[in-house]
Amino acid sequence: QAEDGIRDVERSRGLGDVYKRQMKALLLVGGYATRLRPLSLDRPKCLFPVDNKPIIDYLIENLAKANCTEVVLAVNNHAEKIKSYLGEEKHGIKLHYSQEDQPLGTGGPIKLATNYLQDEPFLVLNGDILSWIDYAELMQHHKENHATATLTLKQVSDPTRYGVVRFGENDSIQEFVEKPTREQAPSNWINAGCYALNPEILNTIPEGKVSIERQVFPKLAAQNKLKGYKYHGDWIDIGVPSDYLGADKLIRKTQASINPTCIIHPNATITDSIIWGNTTIGPHTIITSTIIGRNTMIGHHISIKNSVIADNTIIDHNLIITEATIYPNLHIETNIKNREIKT
């Protein structure tokens, strides 16, 4: 099988420690997170809490473990919120901010940050992924295989939402197919949004808005310069509400993630849900598989299921709300089923 041509790097303890050299990483945190609206209208995805801690903290902590000393945050949308949360240094890592005037996609921000990245191989990570990838081991694998780019790959049961690889021989990725149908999918190994790149790649990325997945990786694959690093651990991209809830469930040890500033009546039942700060929930209310933003008041005897409720919402007593998406600053007085409420 061609797929077996890829060297299968198990997450062997200690190998990562071999790569002692310091490294740099660029984090892509400037997207609009449209699939997480309305929660993302007011907050960048990288600051969404997972088990009450912003997802960006998990990424930076994991980078610090891999001896990463400098991180470039590629920012655009909500840049000020990211800067004021992270500051100049975190977990011993020096932070730089590379500000885009307009969204540059997933490739343009790397080109824009050329001055920080041109010296030696560096990492690029999507800022919305929860994983335990050993970045030092990835970098070591990248160097040993003399690739221009090494993609971390994750095996999933449904690859259709992702960039999927077709394996070639000699550790190479032969083709890279973005969001194929099930029939077209050449394997079930997907781009996990974490790359090791050689600085020479900077010369191949055009100026302006560029998708690295669609415009850069296919060309490298055709030139036999794209390699894969198989990752076997937990991995979740928090891009849509159900996966955001899934990521939270993976980490938390409790029934739900409730910010400590919330006031929850002891007779309320909250399961598989995420509740951001300053929310009040009344007695005999049952909340299941739902994300609730900040400063929300939820009355008594309410059932809320499979919904997303944005900031500053008031929900009256005795209601049933299922599969609803509720925009900020609204007062809800009627039952809602499978609807988006904007005004």
When asked if residue 137 is in the footprint of ligand GTP (CB under 6 A), the reply is no
Residue span 102-131 as binding mask against ligand GTP, x where in contact by CB under 6 A, dash where not: -xxxx--x----------------xxx---
When asked if residue 213 is in the footprint of ligand GTP (CB under 6 A), the reply is no
Which lies closer to ligand GTP via its Cβ, residue 61 or residue 144? 61
- Within positions 238 to 277, which residues make up the interface with ligand GTP, using CB under 6 A? 239
When asked if residue 168 is in the footprint of ligand GTP (CB under 6 A), the reply is no
Which lies closer to ligand GTP via its Cβ, residue 27 or residue 185? 27
Task: Out of 24, 43, 45, 111, name the contact with ligand GTP by CB under 6 A.
Answer: 45
Task: Work out the number of other CB atoms within 10 angstroms of the CB of residue 275.
Answer: 26
- Which region among 22-30, 50-58, 280-288, 304-312 touches ligand GTP (by CB under 6 A)? 22-30
Task: Out of 74, 113, 123, 226, name the contact with ligand GTP by CB under 6 A.
Answer: 74
Residue span 78-107 as binding mask against ligand GTP, x where in contact by CB under 6 A, dash where not: ----------------------x--xxxx-
When asked if residue 38 is in the footprint of ligand GTP (CB under 6 A), the reply is no
Among residues 99, 102, 80, 131, the alpha carbon closest in space to that of 238 is found at 131
Which lies closer to ligand GTP via its Cβ, residue 174 or residue 215? 215
Least separation, in Å, of the C-beta of 127 and ligand GTP?
A: 4
Task: Out of 1, 12, 34, 334, name the contact with ligand GTP by CB under 6 A.
Answer: 34
Residues 20, 179, 253, 337: which is the catalytic one?
179
Active site residue 305: no
Task: Out of 76, 307, 313, 325, name the contact with ligand GTP by CB under 6 A.
Answer: 76
- Within positions 324 to 343, which residues make up the interface with ligand GTP, using CB under 6 A? none
Task: Out of 16, 30, 54, 186, name the contact with ligand GTP by CB under 6 A.
Answer: 30
Answer for the pair 204, 216: CB distance below 8 angstroms, yes or no: yes
Query: Would you tell me which residues interact with ligand GTP (CB under 6 A)?
Result: 28-35, 45, 74, 76, 100, 103-106, 109, 126-128, 239
Q: Mind telling me the catalytic residues?
A: 179
